[in-house]
Amino acid sequence: MDLYEYQGKQYFARFGIPTSPGGVADTVDEAVAQADAAGYPVVIKAQVKVGGRGKAGGVKLAADADEARLHAGNILGLDIKGHVVRRLWVEHASDIAKEYYASFTLDRPNKTHLGMLSAEGGVEIEEVAVTNPDAIAMLHINPIDGLDEETARSWVDRADLDPEARAQAATLLVRLYHCYVEGDCDLAEINPLILTPEGKVHALDAKVTLDENASYRHPEWEEFAADDADVDVREKMAKEKGLNYIGLSGSVGIIANGAGLAMSTLDVVTQAGGEAANFLDIGGGANADVMAAALEVINADPAVRAIFVNIFGGITRVDEVAKGIIEAMGRVKLNSPVVMRLDGTNAVEGRKLLADHLSDRLIAEPTMLDAARHAVALAKA
Ligand code: GDP
Ligand code: MN
């Protein structure tokens, strides 16, 4: 899960990483009130989950309330790379002597964490990586060793940060590392990390991606998800029902047991000339409750024209799945026809159970490809 800048800064604050004082605003009046509170000059910043806001006109300095009002009005509603601005972050503006770059992320091939630090911040790091790769000091960190202050100091020296910034930067980097590891981030990035003319080092921006596999040990992440205007309503509903669901843009709803089979089902729907509306793996527990929940989520998607239920029984028995489908169809009034392919353990018993329920709304096909073709044809009808 990507965080907005203001959420990222809240997250940083928990780990003692210094940022500028400020607050969020959803209207022009709120923005002016936040600006008054932060103290002028202020910087008014679009809260969208995409980089390059500065270049797109989404970051503006304001010297007084009139300017704050003007900029807030211009930035709210602005479209930045397809993301419409609905919320602002307003903070006391900093004077900048130097802009640096700092981040931690995972280096999968090397099985380490990777720190990147550069004295050339403010611009996109991808750009620095191309034009001046030597300006990025890489640090591979064995997760067992972690990052200590001494290593951070030599890293800061290697990155050639300004001498007066080095001690503070080293301390800040150790904290950012704690935020990244204990905070279960996939990415913790500060660009720019600044040195002020007064010799203070702090974060002007925050880009944080949380590792959702760790959400079970972070109940406090709920508030970040609740604030997310970009979240897919279908995915939200599926999550509430405990389903493994990803929304897609096609018209064939998909239910399969097992992630591998669900992916194959997407492939076979594509092969048959259709487009999947979702990925949905119901896992091993294909009982009536799970099946009903899956059908409800898919049914709530107005783009869906046909539903393809693709089950290969293993430990899950197909007769149990069949009972689940029959019961679920009694509970959920479906907008689209269902095409089933049921195979594997107890498939014969399962098909027998379903025989009396078959209609032009509930169709059984003998193979995966037949079922895909039928579902695609129905979706296009
Ligand atoms: P991004 O473009 O989405 O990465 O947004 P940033 O938060 O990084 O802001 C973009 C640029 O705006 C920064 O690199 C700074 O140059 C400038 N900026 C942001 N905050 C301030 C501030 O408090 N004072 C000054 N002078 N410039 C700022
Ligand atoms: Mn930035």
**pLDDT tens-digit series, residues 359-368:** 999 999 999 9
Tell which wins on pLDDT, 243 or 113.
113
- Distance between CA atoms of 151 and 32, rounded to whole angstroms? 43
Q: Does residue 52 line the site of ligand 1, with CB under 6 A?
A: yes
Catalytic residue among 91, 189, 320, 365: 189
Same domain, 119 and 207: yes
Structure confidence at residue 257 as a pLDDT band (50, 70, 90): very high
Q: Which of 44, 59, 190 to mutate to test the pocket of ligand 1 (most atoms within 8 A of CB)?
A: 59
Q: How far apart (Å, rounded) are the C-alpha atoms in residues 72 and 101?
A: 27
Q: Which two tokens stand for residue 127?
A: 């750009």
Nearest CA to ligand 1 atom 10: 54
For residue 187, list its beta bridge partners.
105, 209
- Residue pLDDT, tens place only, 53-100: 999 999 999 999 999 999 999 999 999 998 999 999 999 999 999 999
Kindly report the pTM of this predicted structure.
0.77
The response to whether residue 51 sits with its C-beta less than 6 Å from ligand 1 reads yes
Query: Does residue 147 have a pLDDT over 90?
Result: yes
Determine if ligand 1 sits within 6 Å of the CB of residue 94. yes
Q: What is the pLDDT of residue 349?
A: 94
pLDDT digits (tens, 9 = 90+) for 330-357: 888 999 999 999 999 999 999 999 999 9
User: Apex CA 177: angle with CA 174 and CA 183, to 5°?
Assistant: 135
Domain that holds residue 196: 98-224
Q: Based on the fold, state whether residues 272 and 323 are members of the same structural domain.
A: yes
Q: Which of 4, 11, 101, 180 is catalytic?
A: 101
Question: What distance in angstroms lies between residue 54's CA and the mean position of ligand 1's atoms?
Answer: 6
Query: Is pLDDT above 80 for 227?
Result: no
- Co-location of 247 and 168 in the same domain: no
Task: Please indicate, yes or no, if residue 11 is contained in any of the structural domains.
Answer: no
Q: How many CB atoms lie within 10 A of CB 359?
A: 9
- Give the whole-angstrom CA distance, residue 311 versus residue 366: 12
The response to whether residue 43 sits with its C-beta less than 6 Å from ligand 1 reads yes
**Confidence band of 229 (pLDDT split at 50, 70, 90):** low
- CB–CB of 281/266 below 8 Å? no
Task: Decide which of 92, 126, 141 is a domain's last residue.
Answer: 92
Indicate left, alpha or beta for 368 from its phi (over 0: left) and psi (-120 to 50: alpha).
alpha
6 as an active site residue: the answer is: no
Domains held by the chain: number: 3
SS3 333: coil
User: Which atom of ligand 1 approaches the CA of 20 most closely?
Assistant: 23
219 and 336 fall within a common domain: no
Instruction: Specify whether 100 is catalytic.
Output: no
Write out the two tokens for 234.
């279908």
Together in a domain, 188 and 321 = no
- End of a domain among 178, 204, 224? 224
How wide is the angle at C-alpha 226 spanned by C-alphas 33 and 212, nearest 5°?
Answer: 125
What residues are neighbours of ligand 2 (ion), with CB under 5 Å?
191, 205
| CB within 8 Å of 49: residues ≥ 6 apart | 2, 3, 4, 83, 230
CATH of the domain at 45: 3.30.1490.20
Quote the CA–CA distance of 169 and 135 in Å, as a whole number: 16
Report the mean per-residue pLDDT for the chain. 94
- pLDDT value at position 124? 87
Q: Do residue 107 and residue 80 come from a single domain?
A: no
User: Which is more confident, 160 or 288?
Assistant: 160
To test ligand 1's pocket by mutation, which of 81, 101, 194, 204 has the most ligand atoms within 8 angstroms of CB?
Answer: 204
DSSP 276: B
Which tops the pLDDT comparison, 30 or 231?
A: 30
